[in-house]
Amino acid sequence: MGQADAPTKKQLDALNAYSKAVSDFESILGQRRAQINSKQPLPNLPGQALYLARIGMMSAYKDLTDALPSKIGRPNKFGIPPAYFDADKEPLIDEYRALFDILEVPPADAHKSDTPFKDVVDLATAIARAEGLDAANAEAAGRISLGLFFAETNGNQNVGNARSNKYKGSFQTGPTEDHNGRAKWAVMKPSIAAIDPVLILRDDKEEARAGHLDHRFNHWTAVRDALMNEHADLFPQLAGIVKTLPDPIDQMKLFELIQIIPSPTRSALKSGKLVSYRISGPTIMGYLRNNSIFAFGRADRAKTSATFREILDAMWLFNAKFERALAKFDEIKARQKG
């Protein structure tokens, strides 16, 4: 009498699966740290196993809290919903991030900027103005683009990519994307020169500085070319996007989806019913899961389709990065006004 019911087999299985997932994550963290400290050769894509183990731990925890809601604990410092993450495991995520900082250190010949955040805002704002946007929407373009910088690299410039041999630099672009962006910039440059000649002087300086360097490892040219490749084409739609998605973080999420699933996102925008537009298919859902969207727990992983409203809501792992971007943007605007 008065005793709690014994756990069911499903609950015991979930407990055991979570314990194993934590152990697996601890193991790969320890292995990668030992390899780095002893200067051993690292495997190709050394961050991929780390990433999958982190996803595995969080996914197993969500299955556990679905089976045993009493396991949902206190809030954590990362802002992850408590049903997906046990705050007692914060040190493991701290180590995970520390390892990625080492694995993704910029190359020695990368060209850093002393004003990386302002560069993003200035470039996006100038591009938006050249596209014909008014001051308010051009400012929104700058704010959203700064969010992309945080989403892609956590606000770190010129980084490598421990999970990909293709995507690199401040906006994590591939060679083709960078080339396309450079070509589009060359066409738009005269229009921007008429609006902001000071910015073009900076651009000429950075272009000369980059020379034959991979332009993705000059922060200025990396940001410029990435924005021109995909996002500049959508800037003229910003007024409608802001009206449909008044939350600045939702706006950032939408533009991040241009990085992850560009074609479906463009189709959703053209449909006139953005938030209710539904995407489906294992390939598209796989792209989302590879970016920590619908990746945690059996229920999420079983989804075969989703509306854009559901996708935006499922991008909660980006929230902390976008909040940092908003705070940094406010600092930049306050400094300009001051």
Average pLDDT over residues 321-331: 97
Joined tokens for residue 117 = 């955040």
Angle at 194 between CA 138 and CA 118, to 5 degrees: 45
Q: Which of 127, 117, 187 is nearest to 334 (CA)?
A: 117
Q: Percentage of residues in the chain with pLDDT exceeding 90?
A: 97
CB-based contact 94:106 (threshold 8 Å): no
Place of tokens 């969080």: 58
Per-residue confidence (pLDDT) for residue 89, from 0 to 100: 98
CB-based contact 257:263 (threshold 8 Å): no
How does pLDDT run across 76-91, given as a tens digit for each residue? 999 999 999 999 999 9
Amino acid at 229: N
Biggest alpha carbon distance in the chain?
A: 82
pLDDT at 3 over 60: no
What is the distance between the alpha carbons of residues 79 and 85, in angstroms, rounded to a whole number? 10
pLDDT at 2 over 90: no
Helix, strand, or coil (residue 79): coil
What is the distance between the alpha carbons of residues 140 and 115, in angstroms, rounded to a whole number? 19
How does pLDDT run across 260-319, given as a tens digit for each residue? 999 999 999 999 999 999 999 999 999 999 999 999 999 999 999 999 999 999 999 999
Give the single-character DSSP code of 237: G
Q: Percentage of residues in the chain with pLDDT exceeding 70?
A: 99
CB-based contact 177:226 (threshold 8 Å): yes
pLDDT at 321 over 80: yes
Per-residue confidence (pLDDT) for residue 6, from 0 to 100: 80
How does pLDDT run across 153-197, given as a tens digit for each residue? 999 999 999 999 999 999 999 999 999 999 999 999 999 999 999
**Count of C-beta atoms within a 10 Å radius of residue 81:** 16
Three-state SS letters, 145-183: HHHHHHHHHCCCCCCCCCCCCCCECCCCECHHHHHHHHH
What is the distance between the alpha carbons of residues 77 and 110, in angstroms, rounded to a whole number? 32
Helix, strand, or coil (residue 211): coil
CB-based contact 45:63 (threshold 8 Å): no
pLDDT at 246 over 60: yes
C-alpha pair distances (Å), 174 with each of 121, 168, 185: 22, 7, 17
Per-residue confidence (pLDDT) for residue 261, from 0 to 100: 96
CB-based contact 80:33 (threshold 8 Å): no
Per-residue confidence (pLDDT) for residue 203, from 0 to 100: 98
Q: Measure the CA dihedral 139/142/230/123, to 10°.
A: 110
Of 5 and 315, the one with more pLDDT: 315
pLDDT at 251 over 60: yes
pLDDT at 338 over 90: no
How confident is the prediction for the chain on average, in pLDDT? 96
Q: Which of 84, 121, 106 is nearest to 161 (CA)?
A: 106
Per-residue confidence (pLDDT) for residue 4, from 0 to 100: 59
Per-residue confidence (pLDDT) for residue 1, from 0 to 100: 38
What is the distance between the alpha carbons of residues 311 and 177, in angstroms, rounded to a whole number? 24
